Structure 1
Amino acid sequence: MIASSTPSSAATDTRLGILLMLLGMSLFTVNDALGKWLVADYPVAMLLAIRSLFGAMLLAPLILREGVRSVFAVKRLPLHLLRVGCVAGEVACFYWAVRSLPLANVMTIYMAAPLIVTALSVPLLGEKVGWRRWAAVVVGFAGVVIVLNPTGQFDAVPSLVALFGTLVFSTGLISTRLLRDSSNLSLVSFQTFGTGLLGSAALPLVWVPPPGLDFLLLGALGVTALAGHAAMNRSLQLSPAAVVVPFQYVSIIWAVVLDLLVWGTAPTLRIIVGALLIIGSGLFVFHREQALNRGAAAEANASGGPGA
């Protein structure tokens, strides 16, 4: 009875994992669209500070239950602080870029982050990247160039800010990989409180009193971001990464829909082609890494463990 129920349970977990990934990416897209809407009237520092305030209020009970010292008394503190700077920097770049560019354009550029991580993993992590993945990185960067359109109508400043934000985001992902032994609560708490402190430092210079509704919408940025992270993390716990990670790209579809409904902006053929190249390259790199990991695991099993 137990053996026969296991496949059904695994299938249920996989379906739930896919739904949670779709939910998480949808929440992230709503968060990004809300940020684009609000950054037209409020400075980036206010978005960072108020969204972090609401996020911190949600995290506070979890931190108190776990213990403040156990959450914040971490090893490799400089690396945690570097990650905080990367998180704050990439969010600021994203909000700055979407002031002038369609949401889908900026999100498409940010989708190149896994390709940048692959390229940076060689000098920063000492990892080996084969020619197939390097070829995928080149194709993906060609997609980024198509999206940026440097030879045509090129919004230089917001486009380069988005590209820089993607680089900073990728550096943050690498720092997260280096901190994989840290608890998820520590990572989320550091980025929430750290980003809030960095945003608050500039508030005396840029504060604009928001009406009550706008204040709640600014706070909703923090709520949706935390909910999105929770859904995505739970998805990866329930389902194999190879199954759910490709569903992350649904955010591009949502971004296109929101651009059309809210701002009346339709994606150009250039954006569609660039997005397909970036997404296709990212998926190839991901599945290639999965295949290499499976091969390494099979080789280790075949050779036996210590003392074999």
Structure 2
Amino acid sequence: MTDLTLSSASPSSSTRAGVLLMLLSIMMFALNDVLGKWLVSTYSAPQLILIRSVAAVAVLLPFFWRSGWRKLVSVERPLLQALRALLCAVEATAFYYVVGHMPLADTITYWLAAPIYVAALSPLMLGEKVGWRRWTAILVGFAGVVVALEPSAASFTLPALVALAGSFAFTFTMIFARSLRGTPDTTLAFWQMAVAVVFSVVAIGIDPTGWIPVRPVDFGLLALLGVVAMSAHMLVNRSLKLADAATIVPLNYTMLVWGILLGWLFFGDVPRGAMLVGAVLIVASGLFIFFREQKLKQADRR
């Protein structure tokens, strides 16, 4: 019934629905990050990733039960799939480690720089041509990262370095996703979560002292992380089917607003001036790169 209603709606109604779904998904991601930051103060990042990923896999299994298991095992470029899933596990673990040591807005700022890294690496890894305008925006984005980092002997802490490594891991997952466009979203998500389970089990096995007995209430909250994240991803996919990417994708940057607001509300984090300036440069360059790519794609279609 819902699909019929949406498909028969006017373009403007469809776009509005897409925008609302995207904004809802961003709010869910932000609240998920707050919950993760709170939980990681008690439990280790691998422990959090393990329970979160098991819950997400449990949510995905009914989809394959209904559509058939062939979609799960017959995948294109399995080695690249495995590498992407491994990087996703590294990136997620890095994120939860960093958010446990840094303000939420700072952590989000590092991850928002990933599209800039993608643009910089696309000529080398994807064979895409990048003109001087986008190279200028890339340099501005790099400058924003440097400003937000505030380079000094004191600023190069382990969490800051892990944040940079995690954002680069996220960058490569985005690049590999472009090369795996033929793989259904549910299949990508399933293997991403399944590999995260294995990765976290190995990490816990290396350092079993990091395992802390989970209270029943916290177990439910840890599982909720996976369910909410999967639901938010599905909302993003649905929003992209209802509205153009040019309308939807820039809304991702509202995540920073949520990070600042929720970080202050729940944890008393006050944004640093350097972080705000760096964030503005990163968001501005990211938006320019995105809209420039959209313009070039439209020109190629003519």
TM-score using structure 2 length: 0.94
CA apart distance, 1:155? 4.8
Alpha-carbon contact 1:55-1:222 (below 8 Å) kept: yes
The one-letter amino acid paired with 2:290 is F
Give the 5 Å matches for 1:39-50. 39-50=40-51
More deviation, 167-176/90-99:
90-99
**Count of residue pairs brought into register by the alignment:** 293
Residues 1:196 and 2:197 are matched in the alignment: yes
| Structure 1 ranges of 4+ moved more than 4 A | none
2:246 is matched with 242
1:95 is matched with 96
2:231 is matched with 227
1:60 is matched with 61
2:123 is matched with 122
SS at match of 2:10: helix
1:110 is matched with 111
One of 280, 285, 294 as aligned partner of 1:281 = 285
CA apart distance, 1:166? 0.6
Percent sequence identity is 42
Alpha-carbon contact 1:148-1:159 (below 8 Å) kept: yes
Alpha-carbon distance in 1 for matches of 2:285, 2:227:
32
Task: Deviation per CA, 1:255-296: give whole Å up to 9, x if none.
Answer: 111111111111122111111100000000000000000001
CA apart distance, 1:208? 1.4
Alpha-carbon contact 2:76-2:182 (below 8 Å) kept: no
Residues 1:262 and 2:266 are matched in the alignment: yes
Alpha-carbon distance in 1 for matches of 2:67, 2:200:
26
The one-letter amino acid paired with 1:159 is A
SS at match of 2:167: helix
Cα distance 1:8–1:71, how it changes in 2: closer, same or farther (>3 A)? closer
Alpha-carbon distance in 2 for matches of 1:207, 1:66:
37
Residues 1:33 and 2:34 are matched in the alignment: yes
Alpha-carbon distance in 1 for matches of 2:204, 2:111:
27
CA apart distance, 1:73? 2.4
Alpha-carbon distance in 2 for matches of 1:142, 1:227:
34
The one-letter amino acid paired with 1:99 is G
CA apart distance, 1:49? 0.8
Alpha-carbon distance in 1 for matches of 2:125, 2:245:
24
CA apart distance, 1:219? 0.6
Alpha-carbon distance in 2 for matches of 1:155, 1:41:
25
1:150 is matched with 151
The one-letter amino acid paired with 2:235 is A
SS at match of 2:92: helix
The one-letter amino acid paired with 1:292 is L
2:4 is matched with none
Task: Deviation per CA, 1:60-99: give whole Å up to 9, x if none.
Answer: 1101112223222212100000111110011111111112
TM-score using structure 1 length: 0.92
More deviation, 62-71/138-147:
62-71
CA apart distance, 1:201? 2.7
Cα distance 1:20–1:152, how it changes in 2: closer, same or farther (>3 A)? farther
SS at match of 1:202: helix
Task: Deviation per CA, 1:108-128: give whole Å up to 9, x if none.
Answer: 011000000011111111111
Alpha-carbon distance in 2 for matches of 1:91, 1:8:
37
Task: Deviation per CA, 1:10-62: give whole Å up to 9, x if none.
Answer: 10110011111111111111111111111111111111110011111111110
Cα distance 1:72–1:252, how it changes in 2: closer, same or farther (>3 A)? same
Alpha-carbon distance in 2 for matches of 1:211, 1:186:
32
SS at match of 1:208: coil
Task: Deviation per CA, 1:147-199: give whole Å up to 9, x if none.
Answer: 11113851521111101111010000011110001111111111111111211
Alpha-carbon contact 1:146-1:274 (below 8 Å) kept: yes
Alpha-carbon distance in 1 for matches of 2:27, 2:202:
31
The one-letter amino acid paired with 2:155 is F
Q: CA RMSD in A?
A: 1.5
2:219 is matched with 215
CA apart distance, 1:100? 1.3
Residues 1:296 and 2:300 are matched in the alignment: yes
The one-letter amino acid paired with 1:15 is R
Alpha-carbon contact 1:72-1:190 (below 8 Å) kept: no
2:70 is matched with 69
Q: Which has the larger radius of gyration?
A: 1
Residues 1:164 and 2:165 are matched in the alignment: yes
Task: Deviation per CA, 1:211-250: give whole Å up to 9, x if none.
Answer: 1111011111101110110111111110001011111111
CA apart distance, 1:7? 11
